[in-house]
Chains A and B, each alone.
Chain A
Amino acid sequence: MTPSTASSVREPRVKAKQRPGDRIFAGSTLTAGTLILAMLAAVAAFLVIQSIPAVTTDPGEIPILAGETFWSYVAPLVFGTLWSAALALLMAIPVSIGIALFISHYAPRRLAQGLGYVIDLLAAVPSVVFGLWGANVLAPAVQPFYSWLTETMGWFPLFAPPASGTGRTILTASIVLAVMVLPIITALSREVFLQTPVLHEEAALALGATKWEMIRTAVLPFGRPGIVSASMLGLGRALGETMAVAMVLSASGGINFALLTSSNPGTIAANIALSFPEAFGTNVNVLIATGLLLFAITLVVNSIARWIIARRKEFSGAN
């Protein structure tokens, strides 16, 4: 464009030229996104269709319900799922943030990557092995501690006696879950912490902040959405974990908060794994309906998390 033409002709606002490359690329990303929605819709449709008989059929005709209604069958399972996942996250989140900070800001830089790799290793352990380890190594190891707790602090509702004779309690299951979600939360938080703008960190240090003050004022606010997001992924895993919980947890009770007895509520996913092989007819529908409920629980939990993140949006790098 020469100056003369620019000044003589008053063009309307120039629209960015649409290149074919752009269109194809944008189109394919859109397709991928839509594909995910379609896939999820298919899963949801499958779940809903399969679940309908569980609620509509007369409970007396479904052997697995043993005469109860569907809701009273599933209530302890919902409770157990939420309770164990909450306990697991309660343990895993602080520890994970600690590890992530250790790797990103405390460990000697040369060591850091190796240490991160060590933690990633935990993610590689299959859940069956976690189950075997939890039931045969961890449970016997913590059992004496549980007995001691119930003896000395039995007045506290969470530690109500009698202590389990084998240690396979909901607390043990939650510890195993915590160890399983630890690498997920750690890995993502670590990556986020590493992306903290160096200028922010240096500015804090230059103002005389101690390392902790620098982390509190620069690193953590920057990483908070990432931490929440990582925790949600961890929560998804903790809620849906099947085999490890099935192998570790002694699920022989209803709703109760006692952590150290052998009568614990089961979890939805573990219950499906335990009952599915022998299920037939409408029993299968009942189990799938509990799966749908787990689905709904995750939906609610995630909405809450999204809401929290949305309030903190200003920290996101890409706006």
Chain B
Amino acid sequence: MNFKRFGAPVALVAAAALALTGCAANEAGGGATDEAATGLSGTLVGGGASSQQAAQEAWVASFQTANPDVTIEYDPAGSGAGRDTFIAGGSNFAGSDRAFKDEEIAGDFASCVADTGIIEIPAYISPIAIIFNLEGVDSLNLDAATVAGIFSGKITTWNDPAIASANPDATLPATPITPVHRADDSGTTENFTDYLHAAAPEAWVDEADGVWPLEGGEAAQGTSGVVDTVTGGTGTIGYADASRAGDLGTVSIKVGDEYVEYSAEAAAAIVDASPFAEGRTDGDLAIELDRTSSEAGVYPIVLVSYLIGCSEYQDTEAGALVKAYFSSIISEDGQAISAEAAGTAPISSDLFDKASAAVESIK
């Protein structure tokens, strides 16, 4: 084969390669200017819950702006993958939609110093809204049993007496109800079914599970899929992170004797009203949500997602980075940033004090 024949394509490839060797306009080459600012540098790898991704992006952006020599990679591979990778020592921290179980904590964590335990901080609190698409109706009052009836397929039309009696002012059509649930295994589903099972055990007999336990209904992938499906159908109802509710109608949930609309404050309130899990180490702030709380102004359907790290790292540099990163997340600024970017509920000052103590203990 002579060169002439190969010449043209090779030259093209070479030209393409040359064109590609540039740098992204927003990425500084090495950060020579702000070096003295913090003294922190290196790469921190974390992974886990995809629910946290929008918030993590905002946190990472603000942390990297303050510490230009630091790169943080958050891999939204999913809570299960995140926890497994963290146990195996493949990442420095994890994001997870549930805390580790007792028996999992008893095992080894490869990147932590043996027998030092882990810290878990409920830094991502997001209300889960029940969204629906029904012409002429913007909001509904429902209690847990009715919601369970709708999602299990026992209540099939919008003008069912159970719905109508709680909403005397709304004009409800006889449209059939299409309940939409998540097709994927998710923390959102786990928290939603946990609420239904705790608040209406007769109407919802299945235990909390990340996989939708019933057959029937419409299944859609991810929060985006549920929102799109609810928006695209008529008479549809689903559940999704409140930040994505948009213009869809939302449900106020009966707590005690009142109907509570979702809000950041109400979501933070249920976390404060709930006890910590027992038998955990000091830095382990796993919460057992009290879904049946009847305190005024709490919204019981929330997703609490955790930041998980070692309390003592084998690699002290990684420990310092995790400590700095976590404390920037739980700070008032950090929580405000994620509230703006991802619609989360900022943690209360009470919880902040405990979380702050936990982060300070990281070595």
**Distance in Å from the Cβ of B141 to the closest Cβ of chain A?**
23
Q: What residues on A are CB-neighbors of B210 within 8 Å?
A: 278
Whether a CB of chain B sits under 8 angstroms from the CB of A71 is: no
**Distance in Å from the Cβ of B53 to the closest Cβ of chain A?**
11
**CB-CB contacts below 8 Å: A253-302 with B:** 253-254, 262-263, 266, 273-281, 283-284
Q: What residues on B are CB-neighbors of A95 within 8 Å?
A: none
| A-contacting 9-mer, from B227-235, B293-301, B341-349 | B227-235
* Docked-complex contact B79 and A277, CB < 8 angstroms: yes
Whether a CB of chain A sits under 8 angstroms from the CB of B172 is: no
Q: Which size bracket describes the interface of A in this complex?
A: 20 to 34
* Docked-complex contact A252 and B228, CB < 8 angstroms: no
* Docked-complex contact B80 and A277, CB < 8 angstroms: yes
A284 to B84, CA, bound (A): 10
* Docked-complex contact A275 and B219, CB < 8 angstroms: no
> Per-residue 0/1 for B196-226: is the Cβ within 8 Å of any A Cβ (1 yes, 0 no)?
0000000000000111111111111100010
Interface of A is mostly: loop
| A-contacting 9-mer, from B163-171, B177-185, B273-281, B309-317 | B177-185
Given contacts A275-B185, A278-B78, contact A250 B233 (CB under 8 A): no
* Docked-complex contact A165 and B236, CB < 8 angstroms: yes
* Docked-complex contact B183 and A274, CB < 8 angstroms: yes
Q: What residues on B are CB-neighbors of A246 within 8 Å?
A: 183-184, 221
* Docked-complex contact B80 and A136, CB < 8 angstroms: no
**Distance in Å from the Cβ of B65 to the closest Cβ of chain A?**
29
* Docked-complex contact B212 and A247, CB < 8 angstroms: no
Contact partner of A166 among B79, B97, B218, CB < 8 A? Answer: B218
The residue on B at minimum CB distance from A64 is B211
A276 to B78, CA, bound (A): 8
The residue on B at minimum CB distance from A166 is B233
Contact partner of B229 among A135, A278, A283, CB < 8 A? Answer: A135
Whether a CB of chain A sits under 8 angstroms from the CB of B68 is: no
* Docked-complex contact A263 and B215, CB < 8 angstroms: yes
* Docked-complex contact A166 and B81, CB < 8 angstroms: no
* Docked-complex contact B50 and A165, CB < 8 angstroms: no
| Most chain B beta-carbon neighbours within 10 Å: one of A166, A246, A273, A283 | A166
| Most chain B beta-carbon neighbours within 10 Å: one of A136, A246, A278, A279 | A278
* Docked-complex contact B219 and A251, CB < 8 angstroms: yes
Contact partner of A252 among B187, B209, B217, CB < 8 A? Answer: B217
* Docked-complex contact A277 and B185, CB < 8 angstroms: yes
- Number of A-B residue pairs at CB separation under 8 A: 110
Q: Please count how many residues in chain B sit with their CB below 8 Å of the partner chain's CB atoms.
A: 39
The residue on A at minimum CB distance from B219 is A252
* Docked-complex contact A247 and B176, CB < 8 angstroms: no
* Docked-complex contact A278 and B185, CB < 8 angstroms: yes
* Docked-complex contact B185 and A252, CB < 8 angstroms: no
**Distance in Å from the Cβ of A216 to the closest Cβ of chain B?**
41
* Docked-complex contact A250 and B77, CB < 8 angstroms: no
A274 to B222, CA, bound (A): 9
Whether a CB of chain B sits under 8 angstroms from the CB of A168 is: yes
Whether a CB of chain B sits under 8 angstroms from the CB of A88 is: no
A213 to B185, CA, bound (A): 55
**Distance in Å from the Cβ of A86 to the closest Cβ of chain B?**
22
Whether a CB of chain A sits under 8 angstroms from the CB of B186 is: yes
A285 to B201, CA, bound (A): 32
**Distance in Å from the Cβ of A244 to the closest Cβ of chain B?**
11
* Docked-complex contact B218 and A278, CB < 8 angstroms: no
Q: What residues on A are CB-neighbors of B291 within 8 Å?
A: none
Given contacts A277-B81, A278-B78, A278-B186, contact A164 B218 (CB under 8 A): yes
**Distance in Å from the Cβ of B218 to the closest Cβ of chain A?**
5
**Distance in Å from the Cβ of A46 to the closest Cβ of chain B?**
17
Q: What residues on B are CB-neighbors of A114 within 8 Å?
A: none
Known pairs A135-B229, A140-B232, A165-B235 / 19 extra A-B pairs, C-beta < 8 Å: A66-B209, A66-B213, A135-B220, A136-B232, A162-B176, A166-B180, A246-B184, A249-B183, A250-B218, A250-B219, A252-B215, A262-B216, A273-B184, A277-B79, A277-B81, A278-B78, A278-B97, A280-B84, A283-B80
